[in-house]
Structure 1
Amino acid sequence: MRHHAIFVQQVHDPTRNPLDPSAPPGFVIANIGHQNGHPPSIIIQIAGTRPNKKGLGGIAWVMGFTNCLPSAKHGTLSYSPSTGSTEAMACLHAITWATSHQYSQIQILTKSRQLVQLLQPGNHTDITLNWTVQKILAQARNFLTCQILYVAKEQVAEATRLAHKWQQFSMGRL
């Protein structure tokens, strides 16, 4: 956060993302809340698996308070045409859950660069994800802070394991 504050203070930096000049160079982030100046009170990992031949993919989210162990987990199946759509559905489920529990400052971690880029202002939505992206953006307006941050896959490993378990569970049941 200290490094982020330094980058925000700089006036001109050619490595900065022109669509979101508040993000430090090298960060892929979408700020979709209505104020986005507040630190997040919860961090949610999301993950979606590649759909199988029947179009079933596992989706999952894992919630934790900042600097604490995860305190809530959820996974389910999702009919999806692509991995990108399972990631988007996982994000929508996580945001819906956070809204229902009246959290107002959240940060979502994902290994999907595509999802973060689709949620950034000025990007054109992939037509197959348009409905889901629009629902995410509409619900995000309820939050003071709602950051979607692209991270290394190790940072969402727990959510990824849960999503894979749901998909494997479906293989045994169908």
Structure 2
Amino acid sequence: MGSLRLFQAVSKGHFAARDAVFRNSPYDSASILAEASNAVMQYQLPEAQRLDSRVANIGRNPCGEADTVLQIAGSWHKRSMTGGAAWIMKDDRLQTIHGSCLQTSGVSALQMDALACLHGIKWAATHRLHNVSIYTGSRNLVELLQGSMPLDITLLWTIQEIRGQALLLNWCCVHKVSRSQFRQAQNAAIACRAGLLTPENF
């Protein structure tokens, strides 16, 4: 269906130009180009409308159901350029928390969120978790993973690596959620950035 709409959009300008020639009427290339461009935009619009800016499906399969929820968060201090990233899995049945954290330098809070996502996915794959929902507070991270937001050069490698690592999971969705749903990861990221939490004492 999408291919048909694209074909119709591109063909519209071609037929308009040909019709002008056969009718011996003035050929206004600018107006025909504008009409064709508008048709292409109408083709693209339904595709864009289907994207939910709160969810990015990046796993191997488009459909699935989570059996694990990871909280991720990053923290960044502008003056010192020091950052922290944390990824947490809560086991409500055993009342325990699993995960880890990373202290590093960086250029933005978004970079720390992306690193938390990357290391969280690697952690999930290492622990043989197959269907994972990832909770984040960063809408920008979700939109970067969707491909609906321009990609900053400082994030290029990390975003590509996230997409590659996510293919090791059967199903993986990154969700923009409210603060209460990733608060523990956020607290861990802040503590890690400040040097109060390390992978060894997580």
**TM-score bracket for the superposition, by shorter chain length:** 0.7 to 0.9
Greater Rg by CA: 2
List aligned pairs for 1:38-57, cutoff 5 A: 38-57=64-83
Secondary structure of the equivalent of 2:63? coil
Secondary structure of the equivalent of 1:103? coil
**Which residue pairs with 1:21 in the alignment?**
50
Q: Is the 8 A contact 1:40 1:107 kept in 2?
A: yes
2:144 to 118, 123, 129: 118
**Which residue pairs with 1:147 in the alignment?**
173
After superposition, the CA RMSD in angstroms is 2.5
Change (3 A) 1:65 1:41: farther
Higher helix share: 2
Deviation at 1:21, TM superposition (A): 3.0
Tell which has more relative contact order, 1 or 2 (C-alpha 8 A, sep 6+): 1
Change (3 A) 1:129 1:154: same
2:90 maps to 1:61: no
Q: Is the 8 A contact 2:76 2:193 kept in 1?
A: no
Deviation at 1:54, TM superposition (A): 2.6
2:185 maps to 1:156: no
Q: Is the 8 A contact 1:43 1:66 kept in 2?
A: no
Q: Is the 8 A contact 1:34 1:141 kept in 2?
A: yes
Specify every segment of 5 or more residues in structure 2 that has no aligned partner in the other structure, as ranges. 1-45, 197-202
Deviation at 1:74, TM superposition (A): 1.3
Deviation at 1:44, TM superposition (A): 0.3
Specify every segment of 5 or more residues in structure 1 that has no aligned partner in the other structure, as ranges. 1-16
2:112 maps to 1:86: yes
Structure 1 length as normaliser, TM-score?
0.78
Amino acid at match of 1:107: S
Secondary structure of the equivalent of 1:109? strand
Amino acid at match of 2:137: K
2:159 to 133, 139, 142: 133
Amino acid at match of 1:131: W
Secondary structure of the equivalent of 1:84? helix
Amino acid at match of 2:110: G
How far apart, CA to CA, are the structure 2 residues paired with 1:132 and 1:155? 24
How far apart, CA to CA, are the structure 2 residues paired with 1:120 and 1:22? 8
The number of aligned residues is: 152
Structure 2 length as normaliser, TM-score?
0.68
Deviation at 1:59, TM superposition (A): 0.8
Amino acid at match of 1:137: R
Q: Is the 8 A contact 2:140 2:149 kept in 1?
A: no
Amino acid at match of 1:57: G
Q: Is the 8 A contact 2:58 2:172 kept in 1?
A: yes
